[in-house]
């Protein structure tokens, strides 16, 4: 059963998944993404603590408004998801304080939003989501999204952007330096930072080996 990966909140997962957008056709933000982010979040929570139910709800709903990477609305995606998450939880008669906590975590998780998380749950979700953007999963997602957007693997005349600005709207390889390799330095929790260092090293090894081959 697909909710088994969301233990111990399988019942809540069943309720909230109807309001997520895992079936929107985007394989980088599907049910497997939610499962991985929850696995990361649960691992961080086991060391750092916090309200597990708030963290779980925020995990399931953190991308509940689907906006493509190349949309001009992309910087607003986490705010729109936070607003929808609050509506969903209000319909379930959650306490206002918990709704607010979930909404903040959802809004603050996004790299594009540039909003600092102020609660432990928000810090944990941001770390958990960013872990899914680095390491080998991050490599796979980067090139998957590049394919969806119709971008090239790299600039054949200047793969390393030595004499041109980085442009990850045109070249997938540019996304490593413009974003992915910068993520590991911004983790909010000690547990998240430790996991990030491991995945960052994998990301760098991939980039080095890819560069060698081309």
User: Does the structure show a pLDDT above 60 at 203?
Assistant: yes
Q: 17 and 106: one domain?
A: yes
Rounded to an integer, what distance in angstroms lies between the CA atom of residue 45 and that of residue 32? 20
Q: Are residues 24 and 85 in the same domain?
A: yes
Residue 19 confidence class, pLDDT cut points 50, 70, 90: low
- pLDDT, position 175: 96
Among 2-11, 25-34, 107-116, 154-163, the range scoring the smallest mean pLDDT is: 25-34
Number of domains in the chain: 2
Question: What is the band of 4 on the pLDDT scale with cuts at 50, 70, 90?
Answer: confident
For residue 124, being part of any structural domain is answered with: no
Both 95 and 144 in a single domain?
no
**Structural domain boundaries enclosing 174:** 133-214
Q: DSSP readout, 51-93?
A: -HHHHHHHHHHTT-S---TTSTTGGGHHHHHHHHHHHHHHHTT
Predicted pLDDT at 71? 65
Is the domain of 137 the same as that of 110?
Answer: no
Q: Are residues 139 and 201 in the same domain?
A: yes
Q: What is the CATH number of the domain that holds 151?
A: 1.10.3210.50
Extract the tokens encoding 188.
């909010």
Euclidean distance between CA atoms 117 and 110, whole angstroms? 10
* Window from 27-31, 108-112, 130-134, 186-190 with minimum mean pLDDT: 27-31
Mean per-residue pLDDT of the chain: 90
* pLDDT on residue 22: 57
103 and 1 within one domain: yes
**pLDDT tens per residue across span 70-103:** 666 666 788 899 999 999 999 999 999 999 999 9
d(CA 80, CA 83): 5
Measured over the CA atoms of residue 101, residue 106, residue 111 and residue 112, the dihedral's sign is negative
Q: pTM of the predicted model, to two decimals?
A: 0.89
In a domain, residue 126? The reply is no
- 154 and 104 in a common domain: no
Top-confidence residue, 34 or 74: 34
């Amino acid at each position: 059963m697909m909710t088994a990966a969301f233990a111990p909140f399988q019942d809540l997962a069943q309720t909230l998944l109807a309001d997520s957008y895992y079936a929107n056709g985007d394989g980088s933000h599907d049910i497997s993404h939610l499962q991985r982010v929850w696995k990361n979040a649960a691992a961080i929570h086991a060391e750092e603590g916090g309200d597990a139910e708030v963290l779980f709800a925020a995990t399931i709903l953190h991308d509940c408004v689907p906006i493509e990477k190349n949309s001009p609305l992309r910087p607003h995606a986490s705010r729109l998801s936070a607003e929808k998450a609050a509506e969903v939880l209000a319909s379930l008669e959650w306490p206002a304080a918990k709704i607010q906590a979930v909404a903040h975590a959802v809004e603050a998780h996004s790299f594009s939003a540039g909003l600092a998380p102020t609660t432990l749950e928000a810090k944990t979700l941001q770390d958990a989501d960013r872990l899914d953007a680095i390491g080998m999963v991050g490599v796979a997602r980067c090139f998957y999204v590049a394919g969806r957007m119709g971008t090239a693997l790299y600039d054949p005349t200047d793969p390393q952007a030595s004499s041109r600005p980085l442009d990850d709207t045109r070249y997938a390889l540019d996304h490593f330096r413009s974003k992915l390799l910068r993520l590991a330095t911004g983790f909010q929790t000690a547990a998240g930072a430790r996991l990030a260092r491991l995945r960052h090293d994998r990301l760098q090894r991939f980039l080095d080996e890819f560069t060698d081959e081309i």
